């Protein structure tokens, strides 16, 4: 990471807007951009959590302000961009990161919760792009960076609406990549990370009766943040940050039905033993504490080398299982 930060010194005094910056990957991303000297405009719904994120980045020596913003509301996103332009006169990078998730049987998730997942995830990224692309075109430069998730390539079991938003973001941004292909200095970058060891799981809505802890093979949010930072330095249209995310995408492309059906069957078995009360999490209101980068994990976190080995073993195991099922 230190090598990446040293390489990123040319980003000093660049202006970046980061949505969903109060916890998890968003907070890690704010810290990553703060360390390279960017001017930060941070956005999140919860004012207290946003204030805490601002103070953390100030402690790293960054120039930073927090603008309470619900990305599902277009006027609030316009106001976010206006604050950035009023402060620095430009926007160099916009990181679409704010996102929410609801899991459970499709018909058992309240419709208002599902509607808000669409508004926050899909409309939130749409609103950000719609506001910032005209600014980029007027400037003649800029990078829009989307933290999409591997969910843009393969559906998450019993998270139908979340999956719909991620597939939608992928399709929308790939189309927009074509629209700006004639603009030499304007880029749209999509990152597709796997499950994160962040607070995202703790804050999500759960209507399955399950209260999952984060599995040990989950990615480190700081590693994901470093990849988002690298996209600002060296823009790339589509990027998979680690072997696991690439492997899951590849296996799904080879055995889509088997993978989805197997994962769904596993969820059905687990949901027969319910030990958690339904919760709408942070869908309809700002995230509750903790407001930090890391969330609760199921087991002790293995070393990076062990995680790589676990990831390779997991991918190979799933691949062999699916191949065996297909042959039978």
HSE value, Cβ hemisphere, 13 Å, CA-based, for 287: 27
Token pair of 174, please? 């790939």
In the chain the first and final C-alpha atoms are separated, in Å, by 46
Told to judge if 162 belongs to the known catalytic residues of this protein, a careful annotator would answer yes
* Nearest alpha carbon to residue 25 among 264, 281, 156, 201: 201
C-alpha 43: how far from chain center: 14
Helices within 140-195 (DSSP H only): 160-179
Residue 243 has which token pair? Answer: 């072997």
Question: What is the rounded CA–CA span in Å between residue 144 and residue 187?
Answer: 6
Q: Residue 134 CB: number of other CB atoms within 10 A?
A: 11
Q: Which CB contacts under 8 angstroms, 24+ apart, belong to 258-261? A: 258/322, 258/325, 258/326, 259/154, 259/318, 259/322, 260/154, 260/155, 260/157
CA dist 182 and 155 (Å) reads 32
3-state secondary structure of 104: coil
Which residue of the set 74, 125, 158, 162 is catalytic?
A: 162
Half-sphere exposure of 311 (CA within 13 A, CB side): 19
Catalytic residue positions? 162
């Amino acid at each position: 990471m230190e090598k990446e930060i040293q390489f990123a010194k040319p980003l000093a005094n660049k202006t970046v807007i980061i949505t969903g910056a109060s916890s998890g990957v968003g907070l890690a991303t704010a810290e990553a951009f703060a360390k390279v000297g960017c001017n930060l405009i941070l956005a999140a719904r919860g004012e207290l959590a946003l204030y805490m994120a601002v103070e953390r980045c100030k402690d790293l020596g960054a120039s930073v302000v927090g603008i309470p913003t619900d990305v599902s509301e277009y006027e609030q996103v316009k106001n976010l961009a206006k604050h950035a332009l009023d402060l620095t006169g430009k926007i160099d990078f916009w990181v679409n990161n704010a996102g929410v998730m609801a899991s459970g049987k499709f018909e058992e998730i309240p419709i208002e919760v599902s509607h808000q997942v669409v508004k926050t995830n899909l409309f939130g990224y749409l609103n950000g792009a719609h506001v910032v692309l005209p600014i980029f075109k007027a400037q003649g430069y800029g990078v829009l960076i989307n933290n999409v998730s591997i969910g843009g390539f393969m559906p998450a079991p019993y998270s139908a609406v979340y999956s719909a938003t991620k597939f939608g973001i992928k399709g929308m941004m790939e189309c927009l990549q074509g629209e700006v292909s004639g603009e030499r200095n304007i880029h749209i970058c999509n990152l597709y990370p796997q499950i994160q060891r962040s607070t995202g799981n703790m804050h999500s809505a759960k209507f399955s009766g399950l209260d999952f802890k984060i599995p040990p093979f989950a990615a480190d949010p700081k590693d994901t943040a470093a990849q988002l930072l690298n996209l600002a330095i060296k823009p790339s249209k589509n990027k998979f940050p680690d072997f696991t995310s690439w492997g899951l995408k590849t296996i799904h492309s080879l055995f889509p039905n088997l993978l989805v059906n197997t994962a769904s069957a596993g969820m059905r078995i687990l949901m027969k033993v319910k030990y958690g009360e339904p919760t709408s999490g942070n869908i309809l209101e700002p995230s509750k504490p903790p407001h930090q980068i890391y969330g609760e994990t199921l087991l002790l976190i293995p070393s990076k080398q062990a995680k790589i080995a676990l990831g390779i073993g997991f991918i190979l195991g799933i691949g062999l299982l699916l191949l065996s099922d297909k042959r039978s």
